[in-house]
Amino acid sequence: MGGIDTFHRVFQPLLFHTLRVNPTIPELQQAFADHAHELAAFVLEPLVQGAAGILLQPPGFLREARALCHSHGVLLVADEVATGFGRTGTMFACDQEGVTPDLLTLAKGLSGGYLPVAATMATDEVFRQFLGLPEERLTFFHGHSFGGNALGCAAALASLDLFQREQTLASLPPKIAALRARLSAKIASLPHVFEIRQKGLMVGIELRRSDSRPYSPEEAVGARVCRIVRRHGVILRPLGSVVVLMPPLSVTTDQIDRLVDATAAAITEATSHPLPAPALPPSPSPHPTTAAAPLRGIFLVGTDTGVGKTTVAVGLLTLARARGLAPVPFKPVETGASPDPDDALRLRSAAGRDALPREIICPYAFSPPVAPALAAEQASTRLTLDGIISAARRAAALGDFLLVESAGGVLSPYSENLTTADLAAALGLPVLLVARNALGTINHAALAIAELHRRHLPLTGVLFVDTTPLCTPDRPHNSRFVRALTGVRILGTLPFLPVPTPDGVAAALRLNVDVDLLLPRLR
């Protein structure tokens, strides 16, 4: 019955005919006047359309729908999956207009969200249509394996118990009022806030440009807010350019204040530079070797070895290809090659450049798992700046975006007087610092940033990587401290992925990291 092209296009020929109305009373009346004879049911989310963007219906709309359905013999189906169980301030949204639907769908709040359980309620009149002798074949056969799941039902009963014991509904009005007051004090007047729509503990904050033009989907302004607000310890979900607040009903007024303040700060930050800046233009390098044409690309450096740089690089290469770029990876040196430089081969494959000779992507591969300078020494080779830079330019010429993965950290040595930082300076590419999100990272990241700043290298930001599934107590806070100590932009955190496939990493980066600052958009 929905109308979302992405979801429905393929199935269009199989679907039955649906008529859609905008939520205004005159349009609803007109639709019934024109079509009542061919309508089976009118389906709506009462009072608020949730996933559509927290859209509020005018007062009386639901009551009018009930009356029209009643007088034309059309079933009224209320989808209260989102609005049910106190979300709008009453047990059901339908209560607010004194309406009883013929069918009522329930899920999310039924178990407080803790276990998956859903229910469809019907009036006796509807229910009776399915009663009869077996040979009458009136049975409602639509069922599924886990219908009536006992554990789900136990969770639902426990949640309903809490409703009674804690007097949940009675506790809501002051919370709803506090939320309204705080939104109005802290958010309503922000220049990019177009409208705040609130029903109970359900809020949509619609963002527009300061001249009221809507943001384009590509700008993903809601997603930017949600990414930033995590740094304040708050998890939100966007619906396009609408930021949604749906705190649990047990929220306290202190928590409401914190939620709104964090949201206000995140909106302010996300809208202060209007568009995600495209990848920074390469800054001119002082080094004579690169006085030639500037390169386009990015230079990845770690806070340490083993921080997830290669995984990040694989994801960025995959995203770059999806944006229509022809990225070329370049890993000047790989040590611990046994015998193949596996990381470089992963990069080559993620870039879709398996046909390129390995030496283009990774000119130097050594088997001892030691720093590049030592590995070269033991192989009686000497790595030089000119040698590496000309190899980088050779690789760059084969595509339109060079992704350099350096070895180890900022001062990892390629020879006794050549470090990663020297390579970054000579290439003049924007630098991305990849940090392992673990105890110790604040110091490592701050030191690395201090050195990058000292050398005036163009640092785009810091990307944290959860390199293990274990969430240590420091983890949620590391990025905040790095930001505070260094002032450098935090681009996000790549969550731990047990099997980091290129597409999986790319999807996780897109969701969790401000990739627009790293990769240019062609379209």
Ligand X SMILES: *Cc1c(COP(=O)(O)O)cnc(C)c1O
Given 94, 107, 365, 505, the residue binding ligand X (CB under 6 A)? 107
Q: Which is nearer to ligand X, 108 or 209 (CB)?
A: 108
Q: Which is nearer to ligand X, 111 or 310 (CB)?
A: 111
Q: In whole angstroms, how close is the CB of 250 to ligand X at the nearest point? A: 20
User: Can you tell me the distance from the alpha carbon of 513 to that of 231, in angstroms, rounded to the nearest whole number?
Assistant: 12
Within residues 132-161, the interface with ligand X by CB under 6 A covers none
Given 81, 249, 446, 462, the residue binding ligand X (CB under 6 A)? 81
Q: Which is nearer to ligand X, 95 or 257 (CB)?
A: 95
First to last CA, the chain: 33
Q: In whole angstroms, how close is the CB of 432 to ligand X at the nearest point? A: 37
Q: In whole angstroms, how close is the CB of 225 to ligand X at the nearest point? A: 21
Decide if residue 79 touches ligand X (CB under 6 A).
yes
Q: In whole angstroms, how close is the CB of 45 to ligand X at the nearest point? A: 5
Given 62, 82, 228, 244, the residue binding ligand X (CB under 6 A)? 82
> Tokens representing 262?
């964090």
Q: Which is nearer to ligand X, 240 or 399 (CB)?
A: 240
Q: Which is nearer to ligand X, 204 or 297 (CB)?
A: 204
Nearest C-alpha neighbor of 311 from the set 398, 397, 403: 403
Q: Which is nearer to ligand X, 50 or 520 (CB)?
A: 50
Q: Which is nearer to ligand X, 239 or 511 (CB)?
A: 239
Q: In whole angstroms, how close is the CB of 378 to ligand X at the nearest point? A: 60
Distances in Å between the alpha carbon of 135 and those of 2, 40, 126, 138, 143?
35, 26, 20, 8, 19
Decide: helix, strand or coil at residue 209.
coil
The length of the chain, given as a count of residues: 523
With 0-12 / 13-18 / 19 or more C-beta atoms within 10 angstroms meaning exposed / middle / buried, residue 415 is middle
Q: Scan for tokens 């879709």, then name that residue.
A: 352
Consecutive H or E run containing 322: helix 309-322
Nearest C-alpha neighbor of 443 from the set 275, 304, 333, 300: 304
Q: Which is nearer to ligand X, 81 or 435 (CB)?
A: 81
Torsion over CA: 166, 170, 176, 177 (sign): negative
User: Can you tell me the distance from the alpha carbon of 6 to that of 12, in angstroms, rounded to the nearest whole number?
Assistant: 11
Binding mask 26-65 for ligand X (x = CB under 6 A): -------------------x----xx--------------
Candidates 78-86, 124-132, 215-223, 357-365: pick the segment binding ligand X (CB under 6 A). 78-86
Phi, psi of 328 (to 5 degrees): -120, 125
DSSP letter string, 339-367: SS-HHHHHHHHHTT-TTS-HHHH-SEE-S
Residue least distant from ligand X (Cβ): 82
Candidates 79-87, 184-192, 219-227, 378-386: pick the segment binding ligand X (CB under 6 A). 79-87
Q: Which is nearer to ligand X, 76 or 431 (CB)?
A: 76
Given 25, 75, 91, 118, the residue binding ligand X (CB under 6 A)? 118
Nearest C-alpha neighbor of 518 from the set 488, 493, 487, 491: 491
Q: In whole angstroms, how close is the CB of 81 to ligand X at the nearest point? A: 4
Decide if residue 78 touches ligand X (CB under 6 A).
no
Q: In whole angstroms, how close is the CB of 118 to ligand X at the nearest point? A: 4
DSSP code, position 166:
T
Q: In whole angstroms, how close is the CB of 43 to ligand X at the nearest point? A: 10
User: Can you tell me the distance from the alpha carbon of 437 to that of 481, in angstroms, rounded to the nearest whole number?
Assistant: 12
Consecutive H or E run containing 121: strand 119-122
Decide if residue 322 touches ligand X (CB under 6 A).
no
Q: In whole angstroms, how close is the CB of 2 to ligand X at the nearest point? A: 10
Q: In whole angstroms, how close is the CB of 105 to ligand X at the nearest point? A: 7
Q: Which is nearer to ligand X, 244 or 337 (CB)?
A: 244
* Number of alpha carbons in the 13 Å side-chain half-sphere of residue 288: 1
Per CB under 6 A, residues contacting ligand X are: 45, 50-51, 79, 81-82, 107-108, 118
